[in-house]
Amino acid sequence: MAVIGTIRKRSGLLIFLIGLSIVGFLVMDATNSQGSLLKGRKDTVGKVNGEKILYTDFSRKYEENLKNAEDQMRGQPMGDDQRNYVRTQTWTEMVNDIIFKKVYDKLGINVTGEEMSELATGENASQYIKNDQQFKNPQTGQFDPAQVRMYLTRLDQDPEGVEPGTVRKQWLKFETLLKQNQFQSKYTNLITKGLYVPTWMAEMTYNDQNRFADFKYVLLPYVDVNDADVKVSDDDIKKYLSDHSAKYKIEDETRKFQYVTFDIVPSSSDTARTIQSLEEKRAEFAKGEKPADDSVFVKLYSETAFDEVYYDKDKLFSPVKDSLFTRPVKSIVGPYIDGKMVKLAKISDRKMISDSVHVREISISFAGVKSQEDANVKFKLIDSIIRQVDTLKEDFGKFAAAYSDDQMGKMRGGDIGWVKQGEKEKYYNDMIFFRAQKGKLYRIPSQKENSIHLVQVVEDKPTKVGVQVSYFTKEIIPSPETERNIYGNATNFAADNQAEAKFREAAKKLNVKTVESVKKDEFQVQGLGSARELVKWAFNAKKGDVSSIYTIDKKHVVALLEQVRGAGLPEVDAVREQVKPEVVREKKFEMLSKKITDAKANSVDELASKLGKPVGDGTHVSFASPGLNNAFEPKVVATALASAKGKLSAPVKGNEGVYAVQTINVQEPAKQTDYSAYSFQMNQQLQGKSRYANEVQKKLSNVTDSRFDFF
């Protein structure tokens, strides 16, 4: 009871302590690096000049762009790399929208509704519109504004099976891009039209390019000083970095790390197991009497599709092809290993095949077809031609001349001559070489040409042996036991080598690789491919940290963070080997310059005598061609052109060594009255540089990228 009484007396303190504990727990959770309340509350992907890009807005825009990309891929699967690319493009698009909206507003650039109408349906329409096949006149092949206007009246008539509103959304997206392009075009034109090269600048350029100097010089090559005799300290490197900050300044922080991989690959037991699984079905595979039987078996059991093509020996790429041309038909060759697969190869058939076949065709184009009704008209025409030519045996040439959309073939009654193997699309090729009967008409679609060909084989000339092979294959994959063993090896390595020194020593026995530089927003890692989680680890870790295991593209990866490189000037350790040769050359310049100064010579000849060096000649050199004895020496040539005649120059830092120059003569250019050619040339160069205007605007903007917190 006494205890209860004491608790009651101190209940206020107890409540305070409990509350403090809860707050402490929340703060601890909020500051956790893997996921926190604070992090969970973030709603901003980035800022541009103080304007937020909200996560919700970014996600919505990303989903729109992703949907557009998927539509363009027409059902093909989209990988992580492609999604990352779309995400990066979305970020760039949103940043540019914010930056350039203010730029356009400030400059008074606008795009009116009348302009947009002209760009879409006018005679001076955008090239994006003019180049679109569906907006061209079917008869003339030329752009027809009426086709655009007709298309716009059908924006709400979506094709069957397409989500309602799709066509209108696609047009609005295109219209937005068209408008953005017009804004950009006006902005670029505004810059280029504002560029001007005054006459005095053109005259100066002319004079610089046409002034020539003759001079003598003494050269003290850098190689005269042994590198080992030049001492370089970290302070020397720091000073050099500071003096050359523009060259070495890092715009984005990066990380350098090493990594080792434990490849998830099959063992010898896995290979033996896969071979055994094929052997168990060998008898069933052998039972097939016809290629059709082999085709069914392959479809049911093989990981390689049945290929009906007959290959001659030059075109069959197989490690067992000699056996396929010598052993009897129906024989099975193997099992053998080909790459990652175990294979049984059955000779389904063998016959004489042709290098080329004589073909004629009627081509029915579907270009310009805008409705199902129009397409049905084409299909009815095709059915009619097949019935009259193939069934009623009417003249092929008459129908080709009347209906074929291939103008060259049309003039020859559809005869396109001899077609060689591989000249046509695969379905067309396989039909005329391996399935078609002479004289029979076949309907062959062409996605590439957006047409249907009615094809007839007229003649063939079999000249070589071809073999049709059915492959029963299985990929050799690691078993669960193998995968466990490999993961165990990776786990042991990571656990035993958490210290940097241990990692480096143990990694020597493995295949260790170094990633010199990876940025915070990157998804790709050299040698690994898409490895976003590893990049995020590198930016959350400290120098010398060893990672846990990351599984990336059939590899277990363990990494060591070697260097943390922040934005700005790099640390000495990060660039020592790169910068040291430059610092050595600076010191050599000081040493060699002192030799020239201490000689106290009044002429090149006197200096050469005192230093025991030959006198060199620079003849007829200029700013336009600053070469000297096969060396590029613009500073030396500039000194000769700027120095008074006969006076020995101060030491000049050249690319090959330290020079002392004495000008003999300077030939001044002839006076001109017209410098327009130089003005035009310089103006063209300036206009070429205007394409960097967008990048300049971005550099002038204050962009904060916080995508790392989300992706």
CB atoms within 10 A of CB 528: 19
What pLDDT shows up at residue 449? 77
DSSP assignments along 387-441, one per residue = IIIIIS---HHHHHHHH-S-HHHHHTTTEEEEEETTSS-HHHHHIIIIIPPTT-E
What pLDDT shows up at residue 11? 42
Average pLDDT over residues 248-256: 86
Question: Residue 3 in 3-state DSSP?
Answer: helix
Segment among 131-140, 333-342, 521-530 with least mean pLDDT: 131-140
- On whether the CB atoms of residues 405 and 364 are closer than 8 A, the answer is yes
Q: Does 9 score more than 60 pLDDT?
A: no
Amino acid residing at 367 = A
What pLDDT shows up at residue 25? 39
DSSP assignments along 326-361, one per residue = HSPTT-EEEEEEETTEEEEEEEEEEEEEEEEEEEEE
Contacts of 527 (CB under 8 A, 6+ apart): 513, 515
- Fold match between domain 213-224+573-667 and domain 254-264+478-568: yes
Contacts of 503 (CB under 8 A, 6+ apart): 258, 497, 546, 558, 560
Torsion of CA 274, 280, 283, 284, to 10 degrees: -90
Best CA proximity match to 42, nearest among 32, 28, 29, 56: 56
Q: How does pLDDT run across 92-122, given as a tens digit for each residue?
A: 999 999 999 999 999 999 989 888 888 888 8
What pLDDT shows up at residue 31? 39
- On whether the CB atoms of residues 157 and 167 are closer than 8 A, the answer is yes
What pLDDT shows up at residue 574? 79
**C-alpha span between 357 and 350 (Å, rounded):** 19
- On whether the CB atoms of residues 203 and 673 are closer than 8 A, the answer is no
What pLDDT shows up at residue 489? 94
| CATH number, domain 213-224+573-667, options 3.10.50, 3.30.70, 3.40.50, 2.60.120 | 3.10.50
Q: In DSSP terms, which residues pair with 556 in a beta bridge?
A: 262, 551
Average pLDDT over residues 22-49: 54
Domain map (residue ranges) of the chain: 2-40, 43-108+195-211+669-711, 109-194, 213-224+573-667, 254-264+478-568, 271-475
Q: How does pLDDT run across 459-492, given as a tens digit for each residue?
A: 888 888 989 999 999 999 999 999 999 999 999 9
**C-alpha span between 112 and 387 (Å, rounded):** 56
- 417: phi > 0 → left, psi -120 to 50 → alpha, else beta; which? left
Sign of CA dihedral 275, 279, 282, 285: negative
Segment among 260-264, 397-401, 639-643 with least mean pLDDT: 397-401
Question: Residue 94 in 3-state DSSP?
Answer: helix
Q: Does 194 score more than 50 pLDDT?
A: yes
CATH architecture entry for 254-264+478-568: Roll (3.10)
pLDDT-derived band of residue 408, with 50, 70 and 90 as boundaries? confident
**C-alpha span between 409 and 401 (Å, rounded):** 8
**C-alpha span between 441 and 391 (Å, rounded):** 9
- On whether the CB atoms of residues 244 and 671 are closer than 8 A, the answer is no
What pLDDT shows up at residue 75? 66
Strands 555-565 and 254-263: antiparallel
Q: Does 401 score more than 90 pLDDT?
A: no
Q: Does 645 score more than 90 pLDDT?
A: yes
pLDDT-derived band of residue 37, with 50, 70 and 90 as boundaries? very low
Q: How does pLDDT run across 575-621, given as a tens digit for each residue?
A: 888 899 999 999 999 999 999 999 999 999 999 999 999 999 999 99
How many helical (H) and strand (E) elements, i.e. helices and strands, does the chain have?
28, 20
DSSP assignments along 673-710, one per residue = S--HHHHHHHHHHHHHHGGGHHHHHHHHS-EEE-GGGT
Average pLDDT over residues 424-436: 85
Percent of the chain with pLDDT over 90: 41
- 3-state helix, strand and coil shares in percent for the chain, rounded to the nearest 5: 50, 20, 30
What pLDDT shows up at residue 39? 43
What are the Cα distances from residue 635, in Å, to 418, 581, 652? 67, 20, 7
Q: In DSSP terms, which residues pair with 403 in a beta bridge?
A: none
Q: How many residues does the chain have?
A: 711
Average pLDDT over residues 153-168: 82
Residue 162 DSSP code? S
Sign of CA dihedral 678, 679, 681, 686: positive
Contacts of 394 (CB under 8 A, 6+ apart): 388
Q: How does pLDDT run across 298-324, given as a tens digit for each residue?
A: 999 999 999 888 888 888 888 998 999
What pTM was computed for the model? Answer: 0.63
**C-alpha span between 692 and 522 (Å, rounded):** 23
Could you tell me which residue, 290 or 435, shows the higher pLDDT?
290
- On whether the CB atoms of residues 254 and 468 are closer than 8 A, the answer is no
**C-alpha span between 258 and 444 (Å, rounded):** 55
Q: What class has domain 271-475?
A: alpha beta
Give exposure, 142-178, as e/b (b: 16+ Cβ within 10 Å): ebbbebbeebeeeeeebeeeeeeeebebeeeeeeeeb
- On whether the CB atoms of residues 513 and 282 are closer than 8 A, the answer is no
Q: Does 139 score more than 60 pLDDT?
A: yes
- On whether the CB atoms of residues 477 and 266 are closer than 8 A, the answer is yes
- On whether the CB atoms of residues 362 and 399 are closer than 8 A, the answer is yes
pLDDT-derived band of residue 436, with 50, 70 and 90 as boundaries? confident
Average pLDDT over residues 654-664: 95
Segment among 156-170, 502-516, 629-643 with least mean pLDDT: 156-170
Write down the residue that tokens 């995020």 correspond to: 536
